Structure 1
Amino acid sequence: MCTRSIVSQYHAKLDFDIIAKVIKPLVKADPSMEMKSVIAEVQSKFNYTITMVAKEPSVAVEYETAYGYRGDELVEDLHILTRVFWAFYSCIKAFRSCKPVIQVDDTYLYGKYKGIFLVAISQDGNRNIVPLAFTLVEGETPDA
């Protein structure tokens, strides 16, 4: 029986589960590990180069962050996600055939991460519900 110690760049059995098993202990040991180090580790183990997508062209995303604090001290290199909005272009395109009514529904988040998840929906001519946009906000405020 012959085995290969290195997986080729186009190996059909190499998937995110296998790569995650290699990456997880590394990131757990050093959460500040840079992405280029993770990519290099996967490259050395599997002869596979992970490609990172910085922007998803089929999604519109906007987000806001705030500076983080440790106690009463401002930490300028620490940013906390306060809000995020996203909409899939396919949903935006589908809105053209929807009734001119938009409904917003909310769900409160509990546990470690607090906030409100909002979804805007509409209905097309066949009475199908079409999700339009999604957002996570800090709470019911005039700004949110």
Structure 2
Amino acid sequence: MGTISQDHAKLDSDTIADAIRPLVDANPSIKVKSIIAEVQSKFNYTTLPVWLKAMTANMFWSRVQLKTLLVYRESEEVQGVRVLHRIFWSFYPCMVSLRHCKPLVQVDDTLLVAVVQDGNQNIVPIAFAIVEGETTDA
């Protein structure tokens, strides 16, 4: 398979399944981050970084913090490939709306969305995160 263009119109679940099936057949206990690295290297698939770059370029003052991890195949580091560890982002309009809300922030510990309540008792999301799990560090 060649590299699929960055719009990835042909990168569907069947294509990904065909690419990773041999890996899982060869090693049923393969780590998910190894599968992700294989998809990234095989298809040059980098949607999240591209989306984040576009978001911050088009929504000035929005904030993004991204942490990635190195990928290892056996004991060798896979050069040029990193996988998502955790990410935090907040859109500028969400941050601006905070000044019109009650001074109380709730964080849902499963969805990792920080929300506030405005004067009309509407719930307003102000920040979002994706983490590896419910840990003290995350």
Decide whether aligned partners of structure 1 residues 53 and 97 sit closer, same or farther in structure 2, where only a CA change above 3 A counts. closer
Q: Determine if the alignment matches structure 1 residue 56 to structure 2 residue 58.
A: yes
Q: State the one-letter code of the partner of 1:98.
A: C
Runs of 4+ with deviation above 6 angstroms: none
Q: Residue 72 of structure 1: CA displacement?
A: 2.8
Q: Residue 74 of structure 1: CA displacement?
A: 2.1
Which of 100, 105, 123 is the matching residue for 2:103? 100
Q: Determine if the alignment matches structure 1 residue 135 to structure 2 residue 138.
A: no
Structure 2 runs not aligned, ≥5 long: 1-6, 16-41, 46-52
Rounded Cα–Cα distance in structure 1 between residues aligned with 2:123 and 2:99: 13
Decide whether aligned partners of structure 1 residues 56 and 83 sit closer, same or farther in structure 2, where only a CA change above 3 A counts. farther
Q: Do the aligned residues in 1 keep the contact of 2:86 with 2:130 (CA within 8 Å)?
A: yes
Task: Provide Cα deviations, 1:23-48, integer angstroms capped at 9, x if missing partner.
Answer: 6349x7x7239xxxxxxxxxxxxxxx
Decide whether aligned partners of structure 1 residues 53 and 127 sit closer, same or farther in structure 2, where only a CA change above 3 A counts. closer
Judging by fraction of residues, say which structure has more helix: 2
TM-score by length of 2: 0.58
Rounded Cα–Cα distance in structure 1 between residues aligned with 2:44 and 2:122: 45
Larger CA Rg, structure 1 vs 2: 1
TM-score by length of 1: 0.56
Q: Residue 53 of structure 1: CA displacement?
A: 4.0
Which of 80, 83, 87 is the matching residue for 1:80? 83
Rounded Cα–Cα distance in structure 1 between residues aligned with 2:132 and 2:10: 32
Q: State the one-letter code of the partner of 2:44.
A: S
Structure 1 runs not aligned, ≥5 long: 1-19, 34-51, 108-116
Q: Secondary structure at the match of 2:108?
A: strand
Report sequence identity in percent. 46
Which of 32, 44, 48 is the matching residue for 1:32? 44
